[in-house]
Amino acid sequence: MTTRAVASAAATVANLGPGFDVVGACLEGPRDSVTAELSDDGEVTLVAVTGDGGRLATGGPNVVTIVARHVLDRFAEPGVGVRLWLDKGLPLGSGMGSSSASAVAAALAVAALVSPEIPKEALLDACREGERLAAGTPHADNVAPCLFGGVVACLPGEGDAIHVLPLPVPEELVLVCVKPEYDVKTSDAREALPEKVALVDAVANVAATTAFVMGLVKGDMGLLSFGCEERLAIPARQGFVRGYAGVVAAAKRAGAVGAGLSGSGPTIYALSDDRQTAAEIAEAMVDAFAEVGATATAVISGIDPDGAQVSLIDV
């Protein structure tokens, strides 16, 4: 009999509200799953990938193998290897944290086999290495909410460290995520970012952040709405998403509290405080994408407070 670990990690919305590179939310789904089995050859082997439509290769550097290597190097005895199976439930290049979900599921599955004592906090840096490979930067605003759940702020610590601050989440908060059929590579979207921003935009973003955080604390949808006016990244990136302004306007007309780019796009998220309204917002956003010639699909989800999960099975 062999013990395997099966870990599941969900989609996330990074850059939530005005929180570029800082604030992210964990959705209930869709989810990626990684199954892991230890080996004694010291190698990290990605045996198979399913659910990706054949787009991901099993050979060469890959988010799950990089992350697994980091976890083994840090926590396992020398000579321990691992075999991995990745099942993609998230679309690639969607702006919903596809690479992060794979990274987090891989870290959690490998860690569960190496030692049940390894806390999630100790896996964050390994997961960020997956982001470095996928996007060119180890930003944490997808992997942290994916790992821990809820809505979190990723605060810079000493050196390269990140301190994860959980934020309160109003119980009724619902996210609508609408993805057009095309992809945007995070690395391309990062290249579009300005090196400097105007003081007026920086001040507006501080005001929006203050309102957004207080909106979360008080469950005040008016403050959250004000807080969704992001001025650092979206102005530089919205050109990647044809019809961006029209989709956001349609979401707001249908009752959205606020809307913005999910991560680096092309998914656009909207916030709602009611499931029925969320369904109407999703329909309006899909229709607005259709008006500019894009077929789009919607996910409606609450915030998952628990984050990624893992269990052990004997096969």
Just list the catalytic residues.
131, 186
Among residues 120, 139, 179, 231, the one that binds ligand HSE under rule CB under 6 A: 139
User: Residues near 226 by Cβ (< 8 Å), separated by ≥ 6?
Assistant: 207, 208, 211, 212, 215
Among residues 35, 62, 65, 186, the one that binds ligand HSE under rule CB under 6 A: 186
Q: Is the dihedral of CA 298, 310, 75, 158 positive or negative?
A: positive
What angle is formed at CA 168 by the lines to CA 111 and CA 176, rounded to 5 degrees?
85
The one-character DSSP state at 80 is -
Among residues 14, 169, 308, 310, the one that binds ligand HSE under rule CB under 6 A: 14
Nearer to ligand HSE, 64 or 146 (CB): 146
User: Residues near 271 by Cβ (< 8 Å), separated by ≥ 6?
Assistant: 173, 174, 175, 176, 224, 228, 256, 257, 258, 259
Among residues 132, 190, 242, 252, the one that binds ligand HSE under rule CB under 6 A: 190
Q: Kindly state whether residue 141 participates in binding ligand HSE, applying the rule CB under 6 A.
A: yes
Nearer to ligand HSE, 6 or 233 (CB): 233
The one-character DSSP state at 304 is -
Nearer to ligand HSE, 190 or 242 (CB): 190
Binding mask 15-54 for ligand HSE (x = CB under 6 A): x-----x---------------------------------
Binding mask 85-124 for ligand HSE (x = CB under 6 A): ----------x-----------------------------
Binding mask 209-248 for ligand HSE (x = CB under 6 A): ------------------------x---------------
Least distance between ligand HSE and beta carbon 13 (Å):
9
For residue 309, the SS3 value is strand
Report which residue's Cβ sits closest to ligand HSE: 263
Side chain identity at residue 92, one-letter code: L
3-state secondary structure string, 87-126? ECCCCCCCCCCHHHHHHHHHHHHHHHHHCCCCCHHHHHHH
The one-character DSSP state at 238 is G
Among residues 205, 238, 264, 272, the one that binds ligand HSE under rule CB under 6 A: 264
Q: State the Cα–Cα distance between residues 198 and 149, nearest whole angstrom.
A: 33
Least distance between ligand HSE and beta carbon 261 (Å):
8
Task: List phi, psi (to 5°) of 137.
Answer: -140, 150
Residue ranges binding ligand HSE (CB under 6 A): 14-15, 21, 95, 139, 141-142, 186, 189-190, 233, 263-264
